[in-house]
Amino acid sequence: MGPYRLGWAAVARLPVWPARALFFLVAEVVRRQRGAGVRQLHANLAQVTGAPPDSAEVRRLARLGVHSYLRYWRELFQLSRVRPPVIFERLDRLPVSGRGAILALPHSGNWDLAGAALAELGHPITTVGQRLRPEALYQRFVAARAAVGIEVLPVDEPRRTVPALGRRLAEGGVVCLLADRDVTGAGLPVRLLGRATTMPAGPARLALSTGAALIPVSLWYSGRDLRVHLHEEIAAPPAAGRRAQATAMTQALADVFTDAIRRHPQDWHVLQPVWPPAVLHPGGDQPEHGERAGERRQPEHPVPDP
């Protein structure tokens, strides 16, 4: 058994309170070290709040954000035996007539916990996942999610994954896609939290090609609970052409995400660039992430980041 699986297994067996104490300490260490990810979190939260990255408000939210992020990992490692309460709001917005649903959500709260709770209510879900290295770690993630009713399809195998998503939706299934960060450079232009960027095209294009309902979802922690709100379906507008329709639907997603993130910024777990660096730092240093202003990664696959 490799070190990753050993660590995962050890945390999974910890009682709740020791695990909370351990991850609290880890979060404090991560926060105080101010590595590249934490500095990027400050930059992202500055965009959310409109305050400077080193302001007291951003520092406060970043501290809470690091702890929320480590809480996600603790809950994931213990998902097979410990389930914090999940409270769904407007679950009635899921289609009931055999029509498929695409739940599009930002990297907020704990999407794995929400997926497990949804599966427990009789709605097993399908999602996509980036292939991690080493392969054993990726397979551990796939197995852990499968054990709680979450099917993970590989994001780097689009010829297999895209048709499989279509079949799940045709069967009336639920597909969950994280949709606030474009990792491929092939996304659609939007304004997110007041700034121009791109977001994955997959949710909107999949809805248009299958007729499934596109439903934005927001997640946040409320004390010990995870709250999950299903927003109104985003319908295809009467636009000329599929690309125009997909762009309008993706902008509608961005608008919902903007409101949700501003309401609960401390639970938005994005430690990577979301906007072009020149937008985040119009007069200051650029974040250290290996991209120059205006550069985007080359497209790798047509489905969104999990």
Q: What is the 3-state secondary structure (H, E, C) of 168-195?
A: HHHCCCEEEEECCCCCCCCCEEEEECCE
Q: What is the pTM of this model?
A: 0.88
Q: For 80-99, what is the mean pLDDT? A: 93
Model pLDDT, residue 227: 98
Q: CB-based burial of residue 286 (10 Å sphere; 0-12 exposed, 13-18 middle, 19+ buried)?
A: middle
Location of structure tokens 């409270």: 87
Query: Does residue 132 carry a pLDDT above 90?
Result: no
Q: Is the pLDDT at 243 greater than 60, yes or no?
A: yes
% of residues, the chain, pLDDT over 90: 73
Q: How confident is the model at residue 177 (pLDDT cuts 50, 70, 90)?
A: very high
For 276-287, how does the pLDDT look when each residue is reduced to its tens digit (9 = 90+)?
875 444 444 443
> Cβ distance 225 to 86 under 8 Å?
yes
Q: How many CB atoms lie within 10 A of CB 157?
A: 14
pLDDT for the residue 170: 95
Per mean pLDDT, which range of 43-47, 67-71, 204-208, 298-302 is the poorest? 298-302
